[in-house]
Structure 1
Amino acid sequence: MQAPNSQLRAEVDQAWERMRASFDGDWLGTTTWYGRDSHGMNLERGIANATPSLYAIRFADAHSGEWHGTGLRYAPGGERRFPLHRHTYNLGHNCWHFPQTAGQSSLRMAADLAKAGHEVNFFHGRSRSMLVVLYEPGADGHLRLESIAATAFRCERSAPEPSRPGFTSLEALLTVPAGWPGMESTLNPGVHPDQTAPDRPCPAFSAETFLRHGVSGLFEDHLVCSLPDQLPVGSFELHVGCLVEPETFVHCLIGFDADHQLVGWRERRYHPTKQR
């Protein structure tokens, strides 16, 4: 059943306002790409873009703006520009926005698609930590993980924020939030904001709840992921996370049903003390 116009309007308005609050900025960062070799996904050796990417996202008023990207890998000439309008934003329901975590997702992941992907952005202050995941059909016709891109964006309109100290391994990072309590928020494509489940406590963090798939890695800016190399039979979830500050770990779960249709996004925010 198609949602009433008022329901669609409320969903679009909420997504638009959250997008403006998070993405408004001149975001500069160097993207590093990780791809496949003869042994599968190689997360040890990435290839950094020759030039940094700049995403200039600006708004003329409360209802319109522009997205202007340069240094882009897949755009002709490395540049792309398109307008942003409240009344047309996210009508396809593939963009999603929690207050401090946002992105866009393919709503369906099937072998008849040329490509399926997800972009996840973790915001903290004027830092934007982005992970992009791309799946493509393999030689056997099944979708397989083809590439992962990580970018540590910083907003050029604000004072510089410090870089984050590195970890020696994925396991070392995941020991930091171990045992922390968390709160879970949920979004579903095409669902009125008032009809989504209220925030609720989630089980304390453990590495086992995150490392659910065969391809797991640590990237720039404390970004982490656990992804299936090839899509499994039945329902599944993609796991992406980020230690955005020493006492905040954010875990994003992107869920698909048995037909590989997207059913929702979950954000879990963990702190070493009771949820603030």
Structure 2
Amino acid sequence: MSRVVRQWDLNRENFDGRWLGCSRWFQRSKAGDLNLTEPSDVIEDTCYDISFLDQDTGLWDGSGLKFAPGGTARHPISSKIYNQSGHCWQFTGAGGQSSVQLTAGSKRFAHELNFFQGRSRSMLVLIWIEQDERWRLDAVCAVPFRCGRSTPAEPQRPTDGRPPQQQLAELTGWGGAMESLTPGESGLPAAVGAAEPFALERFCRHGITAAFCDGLICSVPETLSTGAFTLEVGCRVAPECFQQLSLIYDEAQRLQRWERRRYQP
């Protein structure tokens, strides 16, 4: 089975649904401040309605979108054109899209990361923009989607108001399994292997470690400098399950691989 077909199958398994949620945007102010505790903008009725007409074609229909004209967008999707850019990635229960190269003049370096559990979809968006020859984190968005086609709808997860480091410390020693996916290669996640036990210091790599709704959490640099770097994003999708997604960039600041770890006590 070819790379795009298999990734397409995982895409269908993950994203098929009418995803409803409240988008909380944390955007850098005109004064240059980035507050990750109080949203700068809230869109109550965001909807990503993703349906598939058959095994190879479907429709993406969105509303309550921050950057789309009129807040809406609609376009067909198909296995024939899926992931031609190589930006999309799928694991069982996690998927999204990522900028694969940090390139001067490209204006935006962005990621959308989704973690699935049952009929819940926890989404985090990270956007860096280029200003004065440096890349600064400009916006973060967190959305606790629930599928409107599911009856009854899955409940919202209670907000954990503890500091992110305290939330993560609770996972210390949990065992895990790891898969990896490389852009432009076979596209199939590598065979599941044992991951090192969860350790706080391997997640909290950067100056920004922040927690959001629905169990979402990340550790990312505020400013992307030269050389290699790794972004860490995770989600406590269930009381006894934490998903971690590592995005690993080389010295040329090109994405080398995505690594997904699933930790349990």
5+ residue gaps, structure 1 = 1-8
If the length of structure 1 is used for normalisation, what is the TM-score? 0.91
Alignment of 1:1-276 (within 5 A): 10-37=2-29, 38=31, 40-138=33-131, 140-158=132-150, 159-168=152-161, 169-193=163-187, 197-272=190-265
Return the alpha-carbon distance in structure 1 between the equivalents of residues 119 and 157 of structure 2: 13
Q: Following TM superposition, by how much is the alpha carbon of 1:75 offset from its aligned partner in structure 2, in angstroms?
A: 0.4
Q: Report the counterpart of residue 5 of structure 1 in structure 2.
A: none
Q: Percent identity?
A: 39
Quick one: distance in 1 between partners of 2:40 and 2:155?
A: 23
For residues 47 and 54 of structure 1, what CA distance do their matches in structure 2 show?
A: 20
Q: Which amino acid aligns with 2:6?
A: Q
Q: Counterparts of 2:68 and 2:4 in 1: how far apart (Å)? A: 27
| The structure with more strand, counted as a fraction of residues | 2
Name the SS of the counterpart of 1:90 in structure 2: coil
Deviation digits for residues 194-247 of structure 1, max 9, x if unmatched?
6x6422111111211111011110001010001111113211111100000000
How far residue 39 of structure 1 moved from its aligned partner, in angstroms, is 6.3
Contact 1:111 1:143 in 2 (8 A): no
Give 1:52 shift.
Answer: 1.4
Q: C-alpha distance in 1, partners of 2:50/2:187?
A: 25
3-state SS of 2:7 partner: helix
Per-residue displacement from partner, 1:158-186 (whole Å, max 9, x unpaired)? 02111112212212321221110111100
Q: Which amino acid aligns with 1:16?
A: W
Which deviates further from its counterpart, 79-88 or 38-47? 38-47
Quote the offset at 1:49 in angstroms: 2.5
What secondary structure is seen at the aligned counterpart in 2 of 1:183?
strand
8 Å contact kept, 1:30–1:48: no
CA-based RMSD: 1.4
Shift of 1:193: 4.2
Name the SS for the 1:265 alignment partner. strand
CA distance in 2, matches of 1:50, 1:43: 16
Which residue type is aligned with residue 175 of structure 1?
Answer: A
- Does the 8 Å contact 1:41/1:215 carry over to 2? no
Deviation at 1:48, TM superposition (A): 3.9
SS of the residue corresponding to residue 88 of structure 1 reads coil
Deviations along 1:234-265, one digit per CA (max 9) or x if unpaired, are: 11111100000000001100111111111110
> Aligned-pair distance for 1:40?
4.0
Q: Which amino acid aligns with 2:79?
A: R
Look up the match of 1:6: none
CA distance in 1, matches of 2:133, 2:227: 17
Deviation at 1:153, TM superposition (A): 0.1
> Contact 1:30 / 1:152 at 8 angstroms: preserved in 2?
yes
Instruction: State how many pairs are aligned.
Output: 262
2:32, 2:255 → 1: CA distance?
A: 29
Unmatched segments (≥5 aa) in structure 2: none
Distance in 2, matches of 1:134 and 1:87, equals 28
Secondary structure at the aligned position of 1:160 is classed as coil
Which structure 1 residue ranges, 4+ long, deviate > 6 Å from structure 2? Answer: none
2:233–2:244 CA contact under 8 A, matched in 1: yes
Report the 3-state secondary structure (helix = DSSP H, G, I; strand = E; otherwise coil) of the residue aligned with 2:2: helix
